[in-house]
Structure 1
Amino acid sequence: MTMTPRRNALTPEALAMVDTIARSGSFAAAARELGKVPSALTYSVRQLEESLDVLLFDRRSRQARLTAAGEELLVEGRRLLAAMDAVANRVRRVATGWETQLTIAADGVLSRLTLLELCEAFYALRPAPPPRHADAAPPPEPDAPAGPGTRLRLRTEVLNGTWEALVTGEADLALGVPADTANAPGIESRPLGEVAFVFAVAPHHPLARHAGPIEDAELLRHRAIAVADSAQRLSPLTVNLLPGQDVLTVPSLQAKIEAQVRGLGCGFVPEPLAHDHLRLGRLVAKEVRRQRQTTARLAYAWRTGTPSNARKSVQGLALRWWLTQLDSPATRRALLERHSGLPSDVD
């Protein structure tokens, strides 16, 4: 691609020069800061103005006062310089093995508090400097904030949607996939744990006054609250619904619990997520006659390569860090059980 003269003129040095002049308030002060004589600095500004065919500084003032075009170049120049610094820092960090971005898909049943605590610990990392050639000059002291430089992207999924995000390549790590589906070429998985579900209704719901186990015939008379599977390509899952039962479908487990607290319907809810509502009497646990799926076995899984390539790809340091955290039983337990603001024991 051919560089235009105007683009050639917009070098980092030229942008930094305009920034220095505007910040110092005069050509003489900027020249001293840049280690140049004022005439050389004035010449460089004139060359930049001629290349852009604009006037950047108002010559009628003794001070270095920017024109409207100069103000625009200053604002955009600062943005470009910051972007260049960010790219340089990210390239240096990627050279150490840190991924540019890591996408984590987490089922809605997992603790958002724990996930954010893990993100906080990840951002607090101070990675080692990249290796350099023996003859290379030592790199300057980094002025970027601490952290590996990997962008984290969190996705909330439901049921098969968590698995779909991983197998379609939209996520690098999936937390809370159904344990019986976590098996595919190029993917590894480990058990995350189990989540208990309880059948619950609001205290003012008709079923709250029902004595003894509730029969299917009685359940059919009442609306169920269900969470929509977020999968778009895989077959969506339906759990603990009766054929012919009226259903209100909501987008998240939090919305399902809120709907049941309002008495809009009934259904099974994750006990850890609904624990406070049950404890405070906003929901009432009831027994149902027919055996339902009352425990969900979950796993976490990650991509190791492509199905067509038997050789594993090199595992990035960001993914490796998250997998190390998931090796901890305390972290796995917190992801499954901790849904209040109490201190956690995440390693």
Structure 2
Amino acid sequence: MQNIRNVLTPDNLSLLQSIAETGSFAAAARQLGLVPSALTYRVRQIEDALDVLLFDRSARQARPTDAGLELLREGRRLLEDVDAVANRVRRVATGWEPQLTLSVDGVISPTTMLELVEAFYALGPPTRLKWSDGILSGTAEALALGHADLAIGVTEVVANVAGLQSAPLGKLNFIFVVAPHHPLAKLPEPLSDSVLRGHRQIAVADSARRGNVTMGILPGQDVFTVDNMRAKIHAQLRGLGAGFLPEPMVRPYVEAGHLVVRKVARPTRNVSMSYQWGGPAASAPGRALQWWLSQLQSQATRRALLENHHHF
């Protein structure tokens, strides 16, 4: 029996498509410039390798069997993939990266990110995009380890890695909020650390594999740790705990009365955010990364990435 990969070639798949389209072996042979016996032999080779019958030869027309129909469907998809790969290879040769991975912190607006993704795809690039979620130092770590090409939403507490380039994204104000029915909603302000220590904090886990950056957790305090900002917001809406959250993300909940802002004795948190690219093994930016970096040069885009959390 022949190796299946040796018979399921693009040429053979095209041959099967021709038989199905013309309705007979003889017509397909004429279309392909083959003698009928040569075409029949190639079909038998495919059938032998797969151990199935692909065409019902009892009728005057060559009708695909159920197995034949499945191979025709999958064959059509494989031929389209081959064409797409060839097209991508040609276009990658013009300076486009095969794939661009974005490491995006949980405080960044998904609405604005998707608007940028939509604008990027409107160019018709050959580059595949991958969006990877990051939290705290994990956002930059993905870039430093070569798992991402562009990190958006890097905090100032993350040490720079040699070879990385960085540019400011903007300032992000974190406010302390609780649900209206939470005990801390009724206590006198400012809330001291000793008072806060007696109540559970909701924290987002650092996505970094190396190291663990935590923010605002007091020694001995009960902590409920979640994986992302959205889960943290919903946990605080339920009154499961308290904590700091980016003001733009919780603004709609505060305005609707679902969360209450409380003053605390500790200093306010106004965090500098940046975006980073490059790294020790990075080459010159390709056309896809250049496009993203050009978008991030817009002040309006940078502001929207931090503040546009109202319509998602």
TM-score normalised by structure 2 residue count: 0.91
**3-state SS of paired residue (2:87):** helix
**2:241 partner amino acid:** G
* In 1, Cα distance between equivalents of 2:203 and 2:115: 29
After TM superposition, give the deviation of residue 102 of structure 1 in Å. Answer: 0.5
1:229 equivalent to 2:229? Answer no
* In 1, Cα distance between equivalents of 2:65 and 2:242: 67
* In 2, Cα distance between equivalents of 1:29 and 1:118: 50
Unpaired runs of 5+ in structure 2? none
**Do the aligned partners of residues 61 and 321 (structure 1) sit closer, same or farther apart at CA in structure 2, a change above 3 Å counting?**
same
* In 2, Cα distance between equivalents of 1:304 and 1:264: 40
After TM superposition, give the deviation of residue 271 of structure 1 in Å. Answer: 0.3
**3-state SS of paired residue (1:97):** coil
For 1:1-347, what aligned pairs fall within 5 Å after superposition?
7-27=5-25, 30=28, 34=31, 36=33, 40=34, 42-52=36-46, 54=48, 56-67=54-65, 70-125=68-123, 147-181=124-158, 183-233=160-210, 235-292=211-268, 294-303=269-278, 305-306=280-281, 313-341=283-311
RMSD: 2.1
After TM superposition, give the deviation of residue 175 of structure 1 in Å. Answer: 0.4
TM-score normalised by structure 1 residue count: 0.82
After TM superposition, give the deviation of residue 93 of structure 1 in Å. Answer: 1.2
* In 1, Cα distance between equivalents of 2:55 and 2:36: 10
- Alignment coverage as a number of residue pairs: 307
**Do the aligned partners of residues 162 and 56 (structure 1) sit closer, same or farther apart at CA in structure 2, a change above 3 Å counting?**
same
Q: Is the 8 A contact 2:25 2:39 kept in 1?
A: no
Which segment drifts farther, 52-61 or 199-208? 52-61
* In 1, Cα distance between equivalents of 2:231 and 2:254: 16
**2:133 partner amino acid:** T
**Do the aligned partners of residues 180 and 219 (structure 1) sit closer, same or farther apart at CA in structure 2, a change above 3 Å counting?**
closer
Q: Is the 8 A contact 1:103 1:152 kept in 2?
A: yes
**2:127 partner amino acid:** T
Q: Is the 8 A contact 1:104 1:173 kept in 2?
A: yes
Deviations 1:194-249 (A, max 9, x none): 1101111111111111222111221112111111111112x111111111111111
Task: Tell me the percent identity.
Answer: 54
**Do the aligned partners of residues 340 and 49 (structure 1) sit closer, same or farther apart at CA in structure 2, a change above 3 Å counting?**
same
Unpaired runs of 5+ in structure 1? 126-146, 307-311, 343-347
**3-state SS of paired residue (2:42):** helix
* In 2, Cα distance between equivalents of 1:85 and 1:79: 10
